[in-house]
Structure 1
Amino acid sequence: MPIRQFQAQRMHAPRDFQAIANLPVCVEIGAGKGKHALLFSGQNPQSKLIAVERTREKFLAMQKQHLIEGQSNLQTVHADALPWVVHALFPAQVQQFFILYPNPEPHNPAQRWLNMPFFEFLLSRLQEGGSITLASNIPEYIAEAQQQLIDVWKLPFIKEVIAADSARTHFEIKYLERGELCQQLKITKPAGYSTRFDDFQPLQGKSLKAEDSAAEAQ
């Protein structure tokens, strides 16, 4: 069944939204308390990571730990990911997206990441050759996402079993300690891959340009 087109123009900016520069970044969606974000930014000082978390309690825990550790290449954002991505990110800006152990939405399959119209918009923000890492402890979730990549999104991917000693997130540690099978799909955007949002500029970018034009006209 075809996925309807995402209505990006209807997305309002998050509260207290702050624009970012159009420079290469990595983005973690649903960063939780920030365990992976802090690890990644510490291990990859040459990469800038923006870690987005919607839940206030988890965001504050991540922010607190970030203040302690002090990685200058990590930016934490308290926002719902969908409107933040629409307003903040530029086309082909992102080197890597991380979506680690998202809510499996057992009662609402349409809200799973690869079933959402928004996934097309997310792909438009990814660089050619860039990747999306999607991890889950639910085999059916991974199997469905894999099928969507084949049938709908037509994207190459690698499926990997996550090592038993991996400890990227608090959820990952818990699931692996229980002996659960944790897997990930590493999805790549090939050269020449196109979406309907490749020319869609951030709404904040449009408004800035409009203000600049008005200033020049005076």
Structure 2
Amino acid sequence: MIMPIRQFQAQRMHAPRDFQRIENTPICVEIGAGKGKHALLFSEQHPDLSLIAIERTREKFLAMQKQHQSEGQTNLTPIHADALPWVVHALYPAQVQQFFILYPNPEPHNPAQRWLNMPFFEFLISRLQPNGNITLASNIPEYIAEAEQQLQEVWKLPYEKQIIASDSARTHFEIKYLERGELCQQLIIRKPEHYSTRFDEMQPRQGQAVETLSEQAHVD
């Protein structure tokens, strides 16, 4: 079943507590970084890329922060915040090289809160560079299948589906699922050169609701 998508009300998002703006430079962003296993590994393996790792749960964020302080990657910035308002207030149009959403909550009782079913996903696409990627991983085949359908029917975005190798160890969840013998898959979603959204001209605004510069853009 195709989930209907409303327009995201970005102007209603207020900046997170203790919010600090970032520079408009190319970055990668991990949403729901947990204790930071993937973020720490990625930043170590890609010293030429800057990664912002967002985690909402305080306990997990503090664990990531402690490990980061121990390892000291200068290209990693852990952020303690809810991802939606932080993305709206912090990120510039077409700024992000890669988004990582690894093993998100499948929201079994609230399908509208799954990433590709949310109106917010259109805003997320607007922050992605042309030819940039979103990596979405899950151990739930139905979650991946639904996301594929949304990509085909709603978002009209090209993607590649991959089976994650049994020895992969990017996150604590991934290790646990693969040790159980579960099928872990990911979608590598690409933003085409001339893809447009209704939020392509929206700039971040600190400390207040944001405003759109154009209300008439559309998704091609």
- After TM superposition, the score normalised by the length of structure 1 is 0.93
Query: Which residue in 2 is equivalent to 1:144?
Result: 146
Pick aligned residue for 1:165 from 164, 167, 170: 167
Which amino acid counterpart does residue 104 of structure 2 have in structure 1? P
Q: Point out the structure with max Rg over C-alpha.
A: 1
Pick aligned residue for 1:10 from 9, 12, 16: 12
Query: Which residue in 1 is equivalent to 2:98?
Result: 96
Q: Distance in 2 between matches of 1:53 and 1:204?
A: 20
Output one character per residue of 1:173-214: Cα deviation in whole Å (capped at 9) or x when no partner. 00000000000000000010000000001012999xxxxxxx
Q: Distance in 1 between matches of 2:208 and 2:115?
A: 27
1:32-181 matches, within 5 Å, as 32-181=34-183
Give the secondary structure class of the aligned counterpart of 1:105: coil
Mapped pair 1:186 → 2:220? no
Query: Which residue in 2 is equivalent to 1:213?
Result: none
Output one character per residue of 1:151-186: Cα deviation in whole Å (capped at 9) or x when no partner. 000000000000000000000000000000000000
Give the secondary structure class of the aligned counterpart of 2:19: coil
Of Structure 1 and Structure 2, which has the larger fraction of its residues in helix? 1
Which amino acid counterpart does residue 154 of structure 1 have in structure 2? K
Q: Distance in 1 between matches of 2:207 and 2:103?
A: 31
Output one character per residue of 1:100-128: Cα deviation in whole Å (capped at 9) or x when no partner. 00000000000000000000000000000
Output one character per residue of 1:75-121: Cα deviation in whole Å (capped at 9) or x when no partner. 00000000000000000000000000000000000000000000000
Percent of counterpart pairs with the same letter? 82
Higher relative contact order structure (alpha carbons within 8 Å, sequence separation ≥ 6) = 2
Output one character per residue of 1:38-90: Cα deviation in whole Å (capped at 9) or x when no partner. 00000000000000000000000000000000000000000000000000000
Q: Distance in 2 between matches of 1:206 and 1:171?
A: 36
Structure 2: stretches of 5+ with no match in the other structure: 210-220
Query: Which residue in 1 is equivalent to 2:200?
Result: 198
Displacement after TM superposition at 1:31 (Å): 0.1
Q: Distance in 2 between matches of 1:200 and 1:69?
A: 36
Q: Distance in 2 between matches of 1:58 and 1:205?
A: 26
Structure 1: stretches of 5+ with no match in the other structure: 208-218
